[in-house]
Chains A and B, each alone.
Chain A
């Protein structure tokens, strides 16, 4: 292994807009950082904050939540609920010393393959600059924060 650090990003992509945006990026042969590992959810509103915590805890360096633009949600307003949870979650993460760039929320409609690809590129660059997350040190470290551990599957 070289010293070069390649971040791993977990993407929670909504079935109707963002997953299709990633499909379109591929179909249009837009090349972007291969660091995203997409997981399909029906709606960004399905993204349980625990998913994000588990991803970070399981070795991801960042999490991208992507949904339809406000007003375009297939389920009326699930993306707004995602935004609400995201805002609160990011505050919590901030208090643990986890940088803002590590958890991002993106609106990408089904026709915005370029938007999604650009966001993945940008996030990959940001995380390369930040370096590995080291969840163990940051959150579990020596401050007795064991109660923050997400329940085991």
Chain B
């Protein structure tokens, strides 16, 4: 996710040494550049096309059902009986479960992630910061199925004991693991956002007699606010879209959960469980795509909002910071672009 944006990626070992450019007519050269330009434009357009195709196909597969039934009931009803006759498709249990687990995971992850980011950005010596970055990158890449496995076999018995539950497979277990999973995202992106705050702000504050800690809490962190908000929104989107982990450890009960200690089934877990059981074109299949559409709209909203804050952060960093700060801010947003993956 991050650090795919090394600002020092230039291969400086004499780039032009062994380059040969075949002689050719001006017309051919022009045609070649036009072809290349065409390819590059096509690649760019392909990206736009994929987004449109995703939206179009999620709608195409779900609308035949959603237009036939009461959409309000679909969203706010509590009964999901996909194989009964007649079936009922109401998704509130999953929406509430997804919301609960996501919010709780951030309650666990945000204080820890922010403190760790503050340490990395402001307090750590270069030696520690430079070794922590690749470690965070590795941690961000651990597959979610492995988190799920750890939740299933190790964490859930511990949670059952600790909270005296009937089963350790409950929302709380998923939220705890999800918190660990999004930590690297929060730390890396917040670290970038804090470092993007112009040096001058700190110097001005210190010159006025503030201590390092006062400068941090009253000047640097507020100034990094937009970038940090963007980081948290991206983490939120990632937690909301996480599938295998919650599928394996959240418990899977299809009722509207009233507390995080209960077993529950999220939107993503429902999709993963049932997608292979629903016959193509059936109402069940269409209801699942409707559920996916709800998830898609929610996560797209989050990324749009995150980008808005990231943009604001970049502008603020650019104001007093000069080129370096602006670059760092741009870097944070660029990574934002790859975080969800």
A and B bind = no
Interface residues of B (CB under 8 A from A): none
Interface residues of A (CB under 8 A from B): none
